[in-house]
Structure 1
Amino acid sequence: MESTAPEEIDGEQAPPMAPLTHLREPPTTKRGARTRAALVKAARKVFERDGYLDTRLTDITKEAQCAAGSFYTYFANKEEVLAAVLLEAQEDMMHPGMARVEGTDDPHAVLEASNRAYLEAYKRNAKLMGLLEQVAQVEPEFREFRRRRADAFIRRNARGIADLQARGVADREVDPMMASRALSGMVSVMAYNTFVLGERQEEGAPVDFEELVSTVTRLWANALRFPDHR
């Protein structure tokens, strides 16, 4: 069953990936919990396969191998079961920020580790991230939660940039929040294009993951004018 406990981003509560108002109280019996878990698992598979708009509730119950009427014991509609799917995945989508990667003071190594963790999490959940983009276009409440969650991570990265500026590592003339929005947006779009759209290199080969990590990290470092690093 998914956790609905608030996540933390550098000590601050992060907005959940979906509206909690769409969730009912969890089942009190083991059988009920198993049935609900089966429906959530089936829903994720069907949503990722068919897309949000084309998914039918009967497809979900068929995939879960349970009676159609059982669905309404736990969920009222597609919005509710989608919320459950997103909340179940939210822990896996968490990734360390620049200030939370331990073991080194090298800003390049810290930045690379942060970008790698983000891209690995995105790659693992690429179909779900594509689904979230689709839902955000048609469901205003989900769109608002997506915006709030993105802003939480942007603020976290802005604090990391400000810390690097205070240490004399990053360009002090750039606004930390503006830089975070620009650079975080770049990595997010690169991840979407690579893992959701399947964007390929000019010769038709898939984008190399290590090259992707290296490129976005170097662009971050160059934009913030890190000391030369070889």
Structure 2
Amino acid sequence: MDTTAPEETDSETAPPVAPFSQLREPPTTQRGARTRAALVKAARKVFERDGYLDTRLTDITKEARCAAGSFYTYFSNKEEVLAAVLLEAQEDMMHPGMGRVQGTDDPYAVLEASNRAYLAAYKRNAKLMALLEQVAQVEPEFREFRRRRGDAFIRRNARGIVDLQARGVADREVDPMMASRALSGMVSVMAYNAFVLSEEQEGDVPVDFEELVSTVTRLWANALRFPGHH
């Protein structure tokens, strides 16, 4: 979850762009770039449809309408093409931190806008987020990637809480890191339940998006004792 801090660019706070640093350099020809892009697009579709364990490389190449042997020109195995899928989706999944809402410095409005951006990005990428949870259970490198990504967002949120405390908006008695872990975890789990589990369980009533945004924002503000919200 990422709701309270501005964008960071340093290596300590920015989540890794993909779990595999050894991805090959992108092809230099237009034809190669098109083929690789088709494979990545097809891989995301097949992974999200069939799950990581049941996906076969032949399913990906068939979906991409390319020869099976072409796959190995760009990727060594299933793990690498999944890393490429995550890399491509990263920009959308890297929702903005808590910056400023145009026309206002109201911390509650900023918090609400950031929660909305996070939850909207999660909803758009819900199948991919579910896939990452699945893969993290069986692939140590993806598990470490997920951990590092989560920790980076928690650190970023903690800095946002420190800023709010300095401005007299947030409770100064609260430990910023501990609060960030608790509140970030709450919103992440709520997003997973709303956009992943609800899709998997028949008969569940869909969660109202606006109500979800409103609820998590109020809980954040109440927990940090925003003026007028406790």
State if a TM-score over 0.5 links the two structures. yes
Given that 1:187 and 1:216 are in contact with CA atoms closer than 8 Å, whether structure 2 keeps it comes out as yes
Alignment-mate amino acid for residue 8 of structure 2: D
The SS at the match of 1:144 is helix
Alignment-mate amino acid for residue 21 of structure 1: S
Alignment-mate amino acid for residue 85 of structure 2: V
- Could you tell me how far apart the structure 1 residues matched to 2:138 and 2:68 are? 25
1:180 aligns with 2:180: yes
- Structure 2 counterparts to residues 13-28 of structure 1, below 5 A: 13=11, 14-28=14-28
- Could you tell me how far apart the structure 1 residues matched to 2:84 and 2:9 are? 25
* Structure 1 residue aligned with 2:81: 81
Bigger shift: residues 125-134 or 91-100 = 91-100
For 1:79-132, what per-residue CA distance to the aligned partner results, in whole angstroms no more than 9, with x for missing partners?
Answer: 010000000000001112224545421111011011000000000000000001
Unaligned runs of 5+ in 1: 1-7
If asked which structure has higher relative contact order (CA below 8 Å, sep 6+), I would say 2
* Structure 1 residue aligned with 2:10: 12
- Structure 2 counterparts to residues 29-178 of structure 1, below 5 A: 29-99=29-99, 101-178=101-178
* Structure 2 residue aligned with 1:207: 207
Unaligned runs of 5+ in 2: 1-5
Alignment-mate amino acid for residue 131 of structure 1: L
TM-score by length of 1: 0.91
CA pair 129-88 structure 1, distance change in 2 beyond 3 A: same
- Could you tell me how far apart the structure 1 residues matched to 2:124 and 2:23 are? 25
CA RMSD of aligned residues (A): 1.9
The SS at the match of 2:198 is coil
Alignment-mate amino acid for residue 31 of structure 2: R
Given that 1:39 and 1:64 are in contact with CA atoms closer than 8 Å, whether structure 2 keeps it comes out as yes
- Structure 1 runs (4+) deviating above 6 angstroms are none
Alignment-mate amino acid for residue 217 of structure 2: T
Given that 2:7 and 2:99 are in contact with CA atoms closer than 8 Å, whether structure 1 keeps it comes out as no
**Number of matched residues?**
221
| Deviation (angstroms), 1:199 | 6.8
CA pair 100-81 structure 1, distance change in 2 beyond 3 A: farther
Alignment-mate amino acid for residue 182 of structure 2: A
CA pair 158-99 structure 1, distance change in 2 beyond 3 A: farther
Given that 1:10 and 1:100 are in contact with CA atoms closer than 8 Å, whether structure 2 keeps it comes out as no
